[in-house]
C-alpha cells in the first residue's frame, strides 16, 4: 500500500485509492459488479493476483465487505457505507476525464471486453420490443472475442462469448473503433450506419428501435473542453 507520510486527507485518501486498478475496481463495484470473474471481464488486463490483492486491501480499509454465496462455494463483494460515499467522487472523476483527459483513442485502448460488458448492463429492457431479445455483436477484424451475444429476458441481460443457440433478433456488425465512438457519443448511430461502418442485420423493428434500447455511455453528453495548450493567461 502506498504511503505518503502526510496527514493531509487527500494524501490519506490517495493511500487507499491511488494504487493501479483500485479506482477502476471501485467503479465496477458502484456499477453493480460483485463476482470475481465479472471484475476480470470488465478489467480484462488485470491479473487475478492483483485483483485479489486490491479487493483484499479495500476490504481491510473498510470500503468493501465480502459475502459468501452459493452455500459458501463462492463470494460476492459489496461496498460498505464508506465505499458508497465514493460515488460522487468517481462520477466527478468521469466528468473531468471526459472534459480534460480525452484524446484520439489509440488502438490499444479499444477494449472490446469492457465495451460489451458496458453494453450488457446498459440495455434498456423496457424499450426493447416485447422486453426481450437476442442480439449478436460481431467485430470481423478481431481474432479473439470476435463474436458476442447479449440475451435479454425477464430476468435481465446475460453476456455470452459462445453461441447460446437461440434465434438472433438483431446482428450488429462493426469494427471496435466505430462502435466505441458511438458508445462514447463521438459519433451517432445513424451516421455510423449510413457510412456502412456499422451494419444492422435482422429484424427491422429491432433496428428501428435500437436508438431507444441501446443506451450509450452515461458520460456521452459531456463535451470535451476547448484546447488550451497555447492559451496565454495573465
pLDDT, tens digit, 9 for 90 and up, residues 85-134: 999 999 999 999 999 988 778 888 999 999 999 999 999 999 999 888 99
Together in a domain, 202 and 185: yes
- Position with higher pLDDT, 101 vs 148: 148
122 is in which domain, residue-wise? Answer: 107-213
* pLDDT tens per residue across span 191-230: 999 999 999 999 999 999 999 999 999 999 998 887 644 4
Specify which residues 158 forms β-bridges with.
151
- The CATH number of the domain holding residue 145 is 3.30.1050.10
Q: Is 209 part of any domain?
A: yes
Residue for grid cell 455511455: 217
At 61, list the grid cell: 480499509
pTM of structure: 0.87
* pLDDT tens per residue across span 160-173: 999 999 999 999 99
Q: Is 173 part of any domain?
A: yes
Together in a domain, 48 and 143: no
Query: Into how many domains does the chain fold?
Result: 2
Residue for grid cell 494504487: 19
Together in a domain, 138 and 112: yes
Distance (Å, rounded) from C-alpha 186 to C-alpha 204?
A: 25
Domain final position from 66, 86, 101: 101
Together in a domain, 124 and 144: yes
* pLDDT tens per residue across span 14-70: 999 999 999 999 999 999 999 999 999 999 999 999 999 999 999 999 999 999 988
Together in a domain, 137 and 172: yes
- The CATH number of the domain holding residue 74 is 1.10.10.10
Together in a domain, 142 and 65: no
Together in a domain, 125 and 60: no
Together in a domain, 59 and 117: no
**Residue partners of 9: CB distance under 8 A and separation at least 6:** none
At 8, list the grid cell: 493531509
Together in a domain, 164 and 88: no
Domain final position from 52, 76, 101: 101
CA angle 53, 56, 62 (to 5 degrees): 145
Q: Is 220 part of any domain?
A: no
Together in a domain, 85 and 129: no
* pLDDT tens per residue across span 149-158: 999 998 889 9
Together in a domain, 125 and 90: no
Please report the pLDDT score of residue 229 as a whole number: 44
Q: Is 118 part of any domain?
A: yes
Q: Is 221 part of any domain?
A: no
Together in a domain, 169 and 72: no
Amino acid at each position: 500500500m502506498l504511503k505518503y507520510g502526510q496527514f493531509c486527507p487527500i494524501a490519506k485518501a490517495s493511500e487507499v485509492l491511488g494504487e493501479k486498478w483500485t479506482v477502476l475496481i471501485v467503479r465496477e463495484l458502484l456499477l453493480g459488479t460483485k463476482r470475481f470473474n465479472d471484475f476480470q471481464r470488465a478489467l480484462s488486463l488485470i491479473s487475478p493476483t492483483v485483483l485479489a490483492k486490491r479487493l483484499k486491501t479495500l476490504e481491510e480499509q473498510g470500503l468493501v465487505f465480502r459475502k459468501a454465496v452459493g452455500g459458501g462455494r463462492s463470494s460476492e463483494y459489496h461496498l460498505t457505507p464508506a465505499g458508497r460515499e465514493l460515488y460522487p467522487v468517481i462520477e466527478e472523476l468521469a466528468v473531468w476525464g471526459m472534459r480534460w483527459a480525452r484524446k484520439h483513442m489509440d488502438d490499444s485502448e479499444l477494449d472490446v471486453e469492457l465495451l460489451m460488458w458496458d453494453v450488457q448492463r446498459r440495455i434498456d429492457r423496457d424499450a426493447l420490443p416485447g422486453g426481450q431479445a437476442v442480439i449478436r455483436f460481431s467485430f470481423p477484424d478481431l481474432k479473439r472475442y470476435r463474436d458476442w451475444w447479449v440475451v435479454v429476458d425477464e430476468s435481465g441481460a446475460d453476456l455470452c462469448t459462445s453461441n447460446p443457440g437461440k434465434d438472433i433478433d438483431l446482428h450488429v456488425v462493426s469494427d471496435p473503433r466505430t462502435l466505441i465512438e458511438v458508445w462514447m457519443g463521438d459519433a451517432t448511430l445513424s451516421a455510423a450506419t449510413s457510412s456502412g461502418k456499422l451494419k444492422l442485420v435482422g429484424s427491422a423493428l429491432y433496428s428501428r428501435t435500437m436508438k431507444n434500447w441501446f443506451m450509450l455511455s452515461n458520460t456521452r453528453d459531456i463535451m470535451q473542453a476547448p484546447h488550451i495548450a497555447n492559451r496565454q493567461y495573465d
